[in-house]
Amino acid sequence: LVLGGDIDSEGLFDDAVRLAERLGGPVWAAPSQFRLPFPNRHPQFRGVLPAGIAPISEAFEGHDLVLVLGAPVFRYHEYLPGRYLPEGTRLIQVTGDASAAARAPMGEALVADPGAVIDVLLESLDAAGPPADPYRPVPVPLTAEGPGLHPEQVFAALRDEMPGDTAYVVESTSTNAAWWRQMDLRRPGSYYFPAAGGLGFGLPGAVGVAMAQPDRPVVGVIGDGSANYGITALWTAAQHRVPLTVVLLRNGTYGALRWFGGLLGVPDAPGLDIPGLDFTRIAEGYGVRAQHVGGAAELRAALAERPEGPRLIQVDTALTTPS
């Protein structure tokens, strides 16, 4: 199974879990996932597919059928050419988006409501078997050699200190691998990400999610490069007293662009470093309570607080890559 963000946005998260457990096979999230359609520590979950032709084909090796529900086929934004599918593998896409079906470079497409198809499959399959294996444990977070925290330490603190129903709006692309190693997201609506790749989604998106769901904890996980593109969202959060936590990961560079520079053979691209930015002072200027934490224990103590209005927590982190 390959599940897209439409599964979550259309309220099919729990139905997708039932279908996957009935089928018993591996489950992937489609690349550049804007919502999480499946619990990420479920024993059948294999992760988010990479966004290149060759590595997606490699992930499908050994399977005779790939069923894609609620996702385009596929968002390729890394130039890694190869076969679209392994020899002998069949792909069927089910989507309510006719334009996505028309764009698919391979496979068969059924333009239909994925929820209706899931219902038909559940009715057609044998009764559910015994419960799935236990959810996979979370690994011990990596630590950084330098003065900053490893992003895994930040995400482990979020996982442990924030309530289990927290919704996360993430725009810190260079920490993507660390994020999925440490988080344990089991509920619908737990994850929002800018699938189109445009910088500046994270802060205003987090404010919007928090305003739409005032009874649910919301955290914006924002890189310092991304924050520059939508920083004025802090003013809105302050003016409306939005109950939002912004965790600002400051590594002093555009980490995702630096990684792409290496991928594209341009390791010396200029203008990628952004040292000297203090987002606590910027946040305070907009009227948002802010603090700079220096270590894992201080971060955990800050996250354990439950202020009524918006807050920003700045933490210095080591530079990592998306994969």
Print pLDDT tens along the chain (323 aa).
Answer: 999 999 999 999 999 999 999 999 999 999 989 999 999 999 999 999 999 999 999 999 999 999 999 999 999 988 899 999 999 999 999 999 999 999 999 999 999 999 999 999 999 998 776 666 799 999 999 998 878 999 999 999 999 999 999 999 999 888 889 999 999 999 999 999 987 777 889 999 999 999 999 999 999 999 988 898 999 999 999 999 999 999 999 987 766 777 667 777 888 888 777 788 899 999 999 999 999 999 999 999 999 998 889 999 999 998 777 76
> Quick one: pLDDT at residue 259?
67
Q: Could you give the residue ranges of the DSSP H alpha helices within the chain?
A: 5-9, 13-23, 53-59, 98-103, 114-124, 151-161, 176-182, 202-212, 224-227, 233-239, 255-263, 279-286, 296-304
> Quick one: pLDDT at residue 145?
84
> Quick one: pLDDT at residue 251?
84
> Quick one: pLDDT at residue 131?
66
Looking at this protein, which amino acid is placed at residue 295? G
Torsion of CA 164, 166, 171, 174, to 10 degrees: -10
Number of CB atoms found within 10 A of residue 36's CB:
28
Residue 65 makes CB contacts below 8 A (sequence gap 6+) with 89, 90, 91, 92
Q: How far is CA 260 from the centre of its chain?
A: 18
Q: What number does CATH give the domain 151-316?
A: 3.40.50.970
Parse the chain into domains and list their residue ranges. 2-124, 151-316
Domain 2-124 CATH assignment equals 1.10.3720.10: no
